């Protein structure tokens, strides 16, 4: 009976649970998602950058909003989708939840439903005690929890329909084809009866009904943008996003597929899969073939650099990352990797500049703080090394360690310097958190 409460508790704990989900960072995938979502965010009346898209490494076909304007998209959903229009449709739907404040409302309703379920469990146990029957406890508890769950889903269905309508409005304002949202949900509806199918997670948390799908279909057909689709270039980007995910997450599946006359995306997946399965030389050969076709592709340059860096050849990786940064100067994750390669190649002094810029652009990424601390440590600047270790510890929730390191840095850094000011700000922030 405890298991039956998990669905309700998941929503209550969503902001906390989201912090511990296995997430993926990738410059290429994030850039694609940002392009597909930016017009929708603007159409929803939100400022650019106000909504974070976070990729969760999981086979479930699911997406949810948690902790404010944060949309979590599972890799299973990205792999199940049939085109960028479907991903954009899901994002528009989740923006509808944000605009409607559904997370806050949902958490309160989940509390009520959880209490009903807990009461039902208690009644079930009371029945068992009175009648000496274990089956009475199970039956009473299960029925009560089912009633509570249905009560919660009744509210949720209203929210889902509202999010659909908001999504269609946002897509109309953005001039986007809304067909993808309908086709994605219609596809999942066909999978729904089997509870162990990939779409089960989404249809459980985003309940589908015939009326909801019919309403969505009617408005989709009435849209002047229906059937327009996305630019063919974005369709190719989507194919490469899926290829990258398959290569990294399911390399054996890629390796078992035939390699005859592969497209660029298929070759991309195979190059990654070869590397992930230990075939370094072959992976580099396939990557070189890709670069011959697109020599200024920053993501292929990044891939080859990553293969070399992680196979113990950082000096060879440095020029590849440098080229990638020149082509994509706004790709902070590639800049971070460039700094890492410089550091591993023995040039700690040169690594500081790209890492410092990456830290400004990725202030919530612990790795860049660790790398900066290492770079400063190797150049003999212990105070700044301590400061960045303090930043890393704070991001990881190790408050006492962060305070100790920030205090150590502050004792050495010149008063009034940028580093000293940052150490003071960090200590003030950590002190305020401790008081709360």
**Percentage of the chain modeled with pLDDT above 90:** 66
Q: Is residue 10 part of a domain?
A: yes
With H, G, I as helix, E, B as strand and everything else as coil, classify residue 201: helix
pLDDT higher for 8 or 393? Answer: 393
Highest mean pLDDT among 120-124, 224-228, 406-410: 406-410
Q: Which of 320, 396, 401 is nearest to 364 (CA)?
A: 396
Q: Is residue 400 part of a domain?
A: no
Contacts of 211 (CB under 8 A, 6+ apart): none
Question: In the predicted model, is pLDDT for residue 201 greater than 80?
Answer: no
Q: How far apart are CA 188 and CA 195, in angstroms?
A: 11
Contacts of 148 (CB under 8 A, 6+ apart): 8, 113, 114, 116, 117, 120
* Domain limits for position 217: 3-222
Q: Which of 17-21, 248-252, 430-434 has the lowest mean pLDDT?
A: 17-21
Q: Is residue 100 part of a domain?
A: yes
Q: Please answer whether residues 385 and 376 qualify as being in contact, where contact means their C-beta atoms are separated by less than 8 angstroms.
A: yes
The verdict on pTM exceeding 0.85 is no
Q: How far apart are CA 347 and CA 349, in angstroms?
A: 6
Which tens digits make up the pLDDT trace of 165-179? 999 999 999 999 999
55, β-bridge pairs: 24, 73
pLDDT higher for 370 or 138? Answer: 370
pLDDT at 190: 78
**pLDDT, mean of residues 45-62:** 92
Q: How far apart are CA 384 and CA 381, in angstroms?
A: 6
Which tens digits make up the pLDDT trace of 284-316? 999 999 999 999 999 999 999 999 999 999 999
**pLDDT, mean of residues 354-380:** 97
pLDDT at 200: 59
The residue with tokens 């305020």 is 432
Q: Is residue 156 part of a domain?
A: yes
Long-range contacts of residues 298-303, Cβ cutoff 8 Å, at least 24 apart: 298/27, 298/323, 298/324, 298/325, 298/327, 298/328, 298/331, 298/334, 299/27, 299/28, 299/240, 299/324, 300/268, 301/327, 302/27, 302/28, 302/334, 302/337, 303/271, 303/272
Which tens digits make up the pLDDT trace of 155-168? 477 888 889 999 99
The residue with tokens 């449709």 is 89
CA-atom Rg of the chain in angstroms: 25
Q: Is residue 117 part of a domain?
A: yes
Q: Is residue 148 part of a domain?
A: yes
For 3-28, letters b (16+ CB in 10 Å) and e give ebbebbeebbebeebbeeeeebebbb
**What are the structure tokens assigned to 281, written together?**
């030389």
pLDDT at 152: 44
Q: Is residue 199 part of a domain?
A: yes
**Number of domains comprising the chain:** 1
Q: Which helix (H) or strand (E) holds 56?
A: strand 52-56
Q: Is residue 214 part of a domain?
A: yes
Q: How far apart are CA 314 and CA 334, in angstroms?
A: 14
The residue with tokens 């305070």 is 403
Q: Please answer whether residues 94 and 64 qualify as being in contact, where contact means their C-beta atoms are separated by less than 8 angstroms.
A: yes
Across the chain, mean pLDDT equals 84
Paired sense of beta strands 70-74 and 52-56, if any: parallel
Which tens digits make up the pLDDT trace of 10-38? 333 344 444 567 899 999 999 999 999 99
């Amino acid at each position: 009976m405890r298991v039956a409460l998990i669905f309700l508790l998941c929503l209550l704990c969503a902001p906390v649970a989201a912090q511990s989900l296995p997430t993926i960072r990738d410059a290429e995938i994030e850039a694609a998602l940002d392009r597909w979502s930016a017009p929708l965010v603007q159409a929803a009346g939100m400022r650019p950058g106000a909504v974070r898209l976070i990729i969760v490494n999981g086979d479930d076909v699911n997406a949810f909003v948690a902790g404010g304007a944060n949309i979590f998209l599972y890799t299973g959903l990205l792999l199940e989708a049939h085109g960028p229009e479907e991903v954009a449709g899901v994002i528009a739907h989740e923006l509808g939840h944000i605009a409607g404040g559904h997370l806050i409302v949902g958490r309160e309703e989940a509390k009520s439903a959880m209490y009903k379920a807990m009461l039902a469990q208690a009644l079930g146990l009371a029945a068992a005690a009175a009648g000496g029957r274990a089956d009475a406890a199970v039956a009473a508890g299960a029925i009560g929890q089912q009633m509570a769950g249905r009560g919660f889903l009744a509210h949720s269905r209203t929210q889902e329909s509202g999010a659909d309508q908001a999504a269609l409005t946002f897509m109309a304002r953005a001039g986007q084809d809304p067909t993808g949202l309908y086709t994605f949900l219609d596809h999942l509806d066909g999978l729904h009866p089997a509870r162990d199918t990939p779409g089960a997670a989404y249809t459980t948390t985003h309940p589908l009904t015939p009326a909801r799908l019919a309403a969505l279909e009617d408005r989709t057909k009435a849209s002047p943008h229906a059937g327009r689709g996305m630019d063919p270039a974005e369709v190719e980007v989507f194919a490469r996003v899926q290829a990258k995910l398959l290569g990294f997450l399911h390399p054996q599946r890629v390796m078992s597929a035939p390699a005859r006359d592969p497209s660029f995306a298929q070759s991309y997946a195979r190059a990654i899969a070869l590397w992930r399965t230990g075939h370094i030389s072959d992976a580099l050969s396939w990557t070189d073939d890709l670069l011959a076709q697109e020599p200024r592709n920053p993501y292929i340059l990044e891939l080859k650099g990553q293969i070399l860096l992680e196979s113990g050849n950082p000096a060879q990786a440095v020029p590849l990352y440098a080229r990638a940064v020149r082509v994509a100067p706004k790709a902070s994750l590639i800049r971070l990797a460039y700094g890492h390669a410089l550091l591993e190649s023995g040039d700690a002094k040169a690594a500081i500049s790209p890492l410092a810029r990456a830290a400004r652009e990725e202030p919530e990424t612990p790795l860049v703080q660790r790398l900066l601390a290492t770079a400063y440590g190797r150049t003999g600047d212990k105070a700044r090394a301590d400061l960045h270790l303090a930043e890393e510890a704070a991001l990881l929730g190790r408050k006492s360690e962060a305070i100790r390191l920030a205090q150590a840095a502050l004792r050495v850094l010149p008063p009034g310097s940028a580093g000293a000011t940052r150490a003071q700000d960090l200590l003030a922030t950590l002190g305020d958190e401790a008081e709360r």
